[in-house]
A and B are shown apart, each in its own frame.
Chain A
């Protein structure tokens, strides 16, 4: 084997600190180390070492080099072997007294590698868990973020959308319908403890069967919805539901979900004012926000309780929802944003059945008059 490229580094007092390149041959009795001829202009020189003179260990940056040390004529020498071939040959040729430290060194290398793998595995696993946690636990984060948004700021957000919307609508300023809605709202809001919102309700003249609530307490009722209702309690049911969307801050939750994780983080870390700009940037329109199923159920149930507390007959809410769902005539827009399902009605009925009976207090207005003022026929055919 005539190979002259060095395969090891030798360290010792007379060598440079970076080590002297040398060629190591493994033989039966030990090692032959040949130093390159060009060093110090000297001739190529060789040194023979017996295995009995050596002590071995693992070393180097990644603990993957075989380190052999011995005491020579000129003090201690250290040899760093990296080439796998040489290390293999060394392990094969080494006598018994070296095989134990060699095994220990090999074991050390294995342990270091295993530890690296394990640490990276753990870190990878933790990252994965964190990501999954964020994915599935985002609701918790969303709630945290929503809690940090002041009501005042939520009002501003809702108000601008509300004014923009009303600017293009035929708003009813007065009349029996407005009075009726105001009475409903008054009775309902009177039963909300620690209400941070000042609700503002507008009746809009339109045949669209709809009513919606914007963040901050802005509620719009369309006369189309009132025409469809057979009693004031039915409309009050819808209003109770909408009021609870506001109270539970469902709108904000949806916005933040749509804006995504970045928004959540920036709010949790304390930068709510940035959200308005972000919303505009992303073109999220409050009007098109749809609530989630869980939010609808929450608004239903809390709405039902609110009706109960306000002593308004809650069964009106259920029958109205069902009737709207069954007879899908005309543009019942309220259904597209509030999809009705039997499960939802059943849930409400169960809830209602659990509540103790009470005698509802009727409204002061006559619903027939209110509907008549809208130009609706005296009574809707059954």
Chain B
């Protein structure tokens, strides 16, 4: 399986080459185009209950689509819904990543997707909800963001502060606490940041350069109100 990011920047696509018999799973609706040798199946990853819990708990789609090169080698073009970058990483079987609910684009057959419950404080204040996706296993994993993706590398014990709505993915060797952005409650919210996550290494944190929630609020003011 080979993958390549086309048109890097705001409107990228990822091209995945599949050998005969190989398959990948992708977010439902992510497929843009594919070779005629590719079959598209819809699959409830993790069984019915797993899919149900993913749908209701993380807000992810109920079905993932499986793209299978059943009739010979071929390629697939995948793209996310929102404008923003795509990154492709290789899971090695040991590294695990937590991914916020809209961050998953596609993964190789060996990538395991779980929804996992967060602690109360992270769930309430982290802005990711109580359930997030946990990616483990082995193989290619494509994530997408809203805006550009920035990688923050943390050495053991090194700390970094991230606005909670800018999170895309973070390795499970990191740990984080939710904090007020400033020392005072009022200033915390008037500064526009509210809560932030204080990450502590080692590990990697991927953040997105735009905040989908704020963008939504900004767009809303231009939408004509129908009577």
Contact = CB atoms under 8 A, between A and B. Distances in A.
Contacts of A82: 94, 96, 172
Interface string A235-268: 0000000000000000000000000000000000
Contacts of A17: 153-155, 201-204
B119 A60 contact: no
Given A11-B156, A61-B98, A123-B120, A19 B173 contact: yes
A9 B201 CA distance: 13
Most buried by B among A63, A82, A123: A82
Contacts of B153: 16-18
Contacts, number: 71
Interface in A34-93: 36, 59-63, 65, 69, 76, 78, 80, 82
Interface residues on A, range: 20 to 34
A21 B120 contact: no
Contact of B95 (A21, A61, A76): A21
A40 B122 CA distance: 37
B175 interface: yes
A69 B173 CA distance: 14
B171 interface: yes
A78 B175 contact: no
A10 B203 CA distance: 10
A82 B93 CA distance: 11
A7 B95 CA distance: 9
Contacts of B39: none
Contacts of B173: 9, 11, 19, 59-61, 65, 80
A69 B92 CA distance: 22
Nearest to A69: B156
Contacts of A76: 156
Interface in B168-185: 170-176
Given A17-B201, A17-B202, A9 B155 contact: no
Contacts of B98: 61
A126 to B, nearest CB: 11
Nearest to A11: B202
A5 B170 CA distance: 22
Nearest to A61: B172
A60 B174 CA distance: 5
Contacts of B174: 60-61
A11 B202 CA distance: 7
Given A11-B155, A60-B175, A80-B173, A6 B203 contact: no
Contacts of A61: 98, 170, 172-176
B201 A63 contact: no
Nearest to B175: A61
A62 B204 CA distance: 16
Most buried by B among A13, A16, A18: A18
A82 B155 CA distance: 19
Interface in B159-216: 170-176, 201-204
Given A6-B92, A18-B153, A60-B173, 4 more contacts: A11-B156, A11-B173, A11-B201, A21-B93
Interface of A: 5-9, 11, 13, 16-19, 21, 36, 59-63, 65, 69, 76, 78, 80, 82, 116, 119-120, 123
Top 7 nearest A-B pairs (CB, nearest first) are A17-B153, A11-B202, A119-B120, A78-B156, A21-B92, A18-B204, A61-B172
Interface of B: 92-96, 98, 119-120, 153-156, 170-176, 201-204
23 contacts: A6-B92, A8-B94, A11-B155, A11-B173, A11-B201, A16-B153, A17-B153, A17-B154, A17-B202, A18-B95, A18-B153, A21-B93, A21-B94, A21-B95, A61-B98, A61-B173, A61-B174, A62-B172, A65-B172, A76-B156, A82-B96, A119-B119, A119-B120
